[in-house]
A and B are shown apart, each in its own frame.
Chain A
Amino acid sequence: MQHLKLLANDNRGLNELENGTGLVGWNEVTQGSILPSFEGDATNIAHLKSEERTYSGYNSYTATVASWRVLKPVYNRDICIDCQNCWVWCPDSSILSRDKQMLGIDYDHCKGCSVCVEVCPTNPKSLIMFSEQTLLEDALTQWPEKKKKEDK
C-alpha cells in the first residue's frame, strides 16, 4: 500500500498562486491558456498507472476533497471478492485497484457518497460507511455479522 501514497495536499495550487511561482490569478488568465496536466512528456499516459505518472501541480489529482466527507467508507479485505463493482461505479476514481485486486480507498479524492457501499454484493458488505472520525481499526472490529436469509 505504501507505494500508492498520494501526493494530495490541501492547498497546493493555492500556495503556488500566493507565492507567485509563475502562476497568474484567475482574473489574469487570457483566452487560449493551457494548463498542462503532467510534467514533461505525456504521450504514453494511458499505459501508466497513477503512481508511475508525473502529475503537475495543475492536475486535480494533487488536490483533495477529503473535507467534503461526513461519512467515510471503510474497506474490509477479508470479505471482499474483488468483483470491482465499486471500482467501475465510483464517481471520484477513489477505488484503488491493481492487477484485478481491490487494494483500498483513496481518501484524498473520496467524497463519501456511499455508492460503493450500495453496489457491494457481498454479505455482509465489504465496504461500510463509518463516521469520518472513526479509526479504521475500530471500524473493522465493529463489522456486522453475516445476515441470514429470511425464512419464507
Chain B
Amino acid sequence: MAATSIKNLKEFSTSNDRFEGAHTLCPGCAHSMIVRELMNCTDDNLVIATNTGCLEVSTAVYPFTSWDTSWIHIGFENAATAAAGAEAMYKARKRKGSLKDNDAPVKFVAFGGDGSTYDIGFQWLSGAVERGHDFTYICLDNENYANTGGQRSSATPIGATTTTAQAGSHSYGKKEKKKDMIAIMAAHGAPYVAQLAPNKWKSMAKGFQKALETEGPCFINTVSACCTEWKFDPKDTIGITDLATDSLIFPIYEIIDGHELNILYRPKNVIKVEDYLAAQGRYKHLFKPEYKHIIELIQKDVDDKWNMLQRREEARI
C-alpha cells in the first residue's frame, strides 16, 4: 500500500493528479472533487469501472478520456460486476504468475451514481458484495438522475421536486423517503461501509484509504451536491455540503464488519434542516404554508436517525 500522506492539506497537495481536467461535468460539480480525491489518496495502480451516469458521459467524450488509469465503462448497472470480474481475473493470473508485473499493487474501484446504485445496479452490487470480491464501490449520491434531466431515484429525499415527481398545487414533490443504502450494505456484512462528504476532505480521504486497504468489498456513499438539479449557485457546492453535514441530513459515519458503528464527524453547532432546505431551489415549495409540515417531518426523521446512530455507536452495535 502506497498511501499518499494526508496528514494535512499541504502534504496531500504534493500528490499527483490522475483525474484530468477538461471533462465536461458542470462547473462546480462535486463528482470530480470526490473522484479526484480518491485517485490522489493512493499511488497504487487503479482499475476503475464506472456505471453510466454523469461521471461516465462527461469523462469519456470521444476522442478524449479524463482517466490516467485503467478505466472501463460498460452498462448502467454493472460497474460492480465489471470490477468484480477484473478482480477475479487479476487474482487468477497472479496465482499463475502470468501478470506483466506480479508484485505491482492494484486496487479495484467502481463508481456509480445514486440511480445506478440505489435502483438499477442494486442487484449487481448486492451480488458482487455477497461474493466477497476485493473492491471498493463508491456511490456519488446526488439524489436524482441528473444525467437525464433530474428524474427521481430511490435516493431522492422526501419533499424534493424532480422532473418525475413535480411539486405543485397538489403535490409537495417526492412522497417517499430515501432508501437507507448504508444500512443495506452493512447488512451484507461488508467489512467497510461509510458515508462521507467532500467538504470534510480529511475524513473522506481517510475513509477512501481505509476502504482501499481493507480486503473484501467496501461500500462508500458520498454526498455529491448537484448545482444543476438541486438548483443552487455552482460556487456554493462546498457551502451546501457544509449545510448538509451540519444539519445532519448527511451524517458522516462508518460501519465496520456490519456491526461497529463510528461517527466520524460531530458538528459543533447543529443547524436546523430548514437552513439546508432553504438554500436549494428544489425545496422552495416546502416553505409555502400548506407544505410546512413536511419540513417538520424531515427534521423529525433527521433527529431520530441521529439519535439512532449515537445509540448504536455507544452500544458498539
Contacts and interface: CB of A to CB of B under 8 A. Distances in A.
Contacts of A53: 68
A33 B105 CA distance: 25
Interface in A42-60: 42-43, 45-50, 53, 57-60
Contacts of B235: 113-115, 117-118
Contacts of A84: 9-10, 12-13
Nearest to B33: A91
A93 B20 contact: yes
Contacts of B237: 89, 91, 113, 115
Interface in B17-58: 17-25, 27-33, 36-37, 42-45
B67 A13 contact: no
A65 B239 contact: no
B29 A91 contact: yes
A101 to B, nearest CB: 9
A68 B12 CA distance: 29
A12 B235 CA distance: 30
B30 A45 contact: no
Contacts of A60: 20-23, 59, 61, 64-66
Instruction: Give the bracket for the number of chain B residues in contact with chain A.
Output: 35 or more
Contacts of A92: 21-23, 27, 32
Interface bracket on A: 35 or more
A88 B59 contact: no
A49 B9 contact: no
B67 A37 contact: yes
B104 interface: yes
Contacts of A99: 14
B236 interface: yes
Given A13-B63, A38-B68, A100-B11, A61 B21 contact: yes
B198 A26 contact: no
Q: Which of B28, B32, B198 has the most CB of A within 10 A?
A: B28
Nearest to B17: A93
Given A37-B65, A58-B65, A115-B235, A91 B12 contact: no
B65 A47 contact: no
Interface of A: 8, 13, 16-17, 23, 26, 29, 35, 37-38, 42-43, 45-50, 53, 57-65, 68, 82-85, 87-94, 97, 99-100, 106, 108-115, 117-119
7 contacts: A46-B16, A85-B9, A87-B9, A89-B238, A91-B33, A110-B21, A118-B235
